[in-house]
Structure 1
Amino acid sequence: MFVLNARSRLFTILVGLALSIAVTNAHGQWSQPELRAELLEMRRVDQDARLKCLGSAEEQMKCFREIAEKIDAPHTKRLNEIFDKHGFPSLAKVGDDGLRAFMLLVQHAVSDEIRERVKEPMRLAFERKEISPDRYAAFIDRLLVNQGKPQIYGSNFEIRDGRMVMSPVEDPPELNNRRRAAGLPPIEEYAEMLRELYKIEVVLRGKEN
């Protein structure tokens, strides 16, 4: 999934490992089914638009920029309205799929305002194991990179000269220890997964040629 980073003009690749935790409501019910339905519909619109971004890299980037203006911007406004009215759309409120839809939409938001607002509720949901480690890491790292800060978990990569290069990371020697504590695999395994998935050279920080 390619995301436009307006600050650096680099397209940050946020890749979630296929390790999502199967968390469901015990009774298959949610306290806010209408909100859940709205989030799922917003996600459908988001994904349908992105699936149409085909062609060359330049054509895809143009498509993503148009999506940011026509879809992501109004979605960002709506996400802030939802948070104002309903608070954080937790597992109990919207179920696992509703929460995952919300997280995806937050990742595609055109400003960091909504990400800052939900950062603490996200952390608490992660501690309750309502959010998988890979999704939480992608959320935190994206926010930090957008703010010009080093990421914590190493989930953000940038396209540079046809290679995927890890965004700056805090205290690189301790990266795998932080990943282990969060329930993530070693960064070397993550990089290998990216190589297999995208068939592209992947460069870890401190190991550039």
Structure 2
Amino acid sequence: MIGLLMAALLGGAQPSPLSPQATALIAPVRQALDAERKAQTALPPPASDAEKLERMGRMDQVGRRVLTGIDLTVLPLQERDPASKAMWAPIKEIDAENQKALLAMTPPEGWFLKSRYGARASQAAFNIVQHSDLSLWRRFVPVLEPLVTTGEVEGQSYGLMYDRLAINEGRPQRYGSQMTCKDGKYVVDRLEAPEQVDARRKAMGFPQTLAEYEAIFAQYPPCT
């Protein structure tokens, strides 16, 4: 709504409404978010920051789980980008809410340690930061790195965030966790020393080789 208002104030054209087909196709994403929000509203207030993080983590994931099964290539080409943006919009709203709440909760030691908050809450915090932006990745990657050796952070989690930061800074990724869309298929984005990637993945606790990881994405609907 804010974006449309700003476009109008600046004289920009408002986007065309989606077709009924596109609207129905992406509707499950918002429905899943609304259902989770309703379920959480019915609960008592969280008893701790750990419980609050776990709830935030469920909001972070529920729309994304639905989204991965939606095939936008069934739409006419001109509708795919607008439908994608509309599909992601409610998820981005949740992301912004979660990031604001997480930053307000961040403890003095700089991270939500598993030994203090529990594995689920710590993982939820990671997912929220992973779905944020360059400024937060730059802030938290150096914090997470030493915590891998103490067991407070999963090596795979650190690897995922390291790769995302690297790709967004224009550098090759190290662990092969970040995919890009090419010719309608997900492929591994640019990679540092590809011949060593499986050894690096194993050292960080990734459960699959790079080839096995790519095979998972081969099962996804075509990307746009």
The two structures have a TM-score, normalised by structure 2, of 0.63
Determine which of 65, 73, 79 is the counterpart of 2:89: 65
Q: Which amino acid aligns with 1:119?
A: V
C-alpha offsets along residues 161-195 of structure 1, whole Å, 9 cap, x if unaligned? 21112111112232233223333343223223433
Q: Distance in 2 between matches of 1:120 and 1:99?
A: 16
Task: Tell me if the contact between 2:110 and 2:143 (Cα under 8 Å) persists in the aligned partners.
Answer: no
Farther-moved stretch of structure 1 (169-178 vs 43-52): 43-52
Farther-moved stretch of structure 1 (125-134 vs 99-108): 125-134
- Please state if 1:150 is matched with 2:164: no
Q: Which runs of 5+ in 2 are unaligned?
A: 1-46, 73-79
Deviation at 1:87, TM superposition (A): 2.9
The structure showing larger relative contact order (alpha-carbon pairs under 8 Å, at least 6 residues apart) is: 1
Q: Which runs of 5+ in 1 are unaligned?
A: 1-32, 202-209
Q: Distance in 2 between matches of 1:174 and 1:105?
A: 29
Match of 1:125 in 2: 147
> Which of the pair is proportionally richer in helix?
2
C-alpha offsets along residues 122-157 of structure 1, whole Å, 9 cap, x if unaligned? 112221233333322212111111212110011111
> Which of the pair is proportionally richer in strand?
1
- Please state if 1:187 is matched with 2:210: yes
Task: Tell me if the contact between 2:129 and 2:137 (Cα under 8 Å) persists in the aligned partners.
Answer: yes
- Please state if 1:81 is matched with 2:104: yes
Task: Tell me if the contact between 1:76 and 1:114 (Cα under 8 Å) persists in the aligned partners.
Answer: no
Deviation at 1:85, TM superposition (A): 5.7
Q: Distance in 2 between matches of 1:83 and 1:115?
A: 14
Identity of aligned residues (%): 26
Determine which of 168, 174, 189 is the counterpart of 2:196: 174
Tell me the number of residue pairs that the alignment of Structure 1 and Structure 2 aligns: 166
Stretches (4+) displaced over 6 A: none
Match of 1:165 in 2: 187
Determine which of 37, 41, 50 is the counterpart of 1:36: 50
Question: What is the RMSD of the two structures over their aligned residues, measured on CA atoms?
Answer: 2.6
Task: Tell me if the contact between 2:185 and 2:222 (Cα under 8 Å) persists in the aligned partners.
Answer: yes
SS in 1 for 2:106: helix
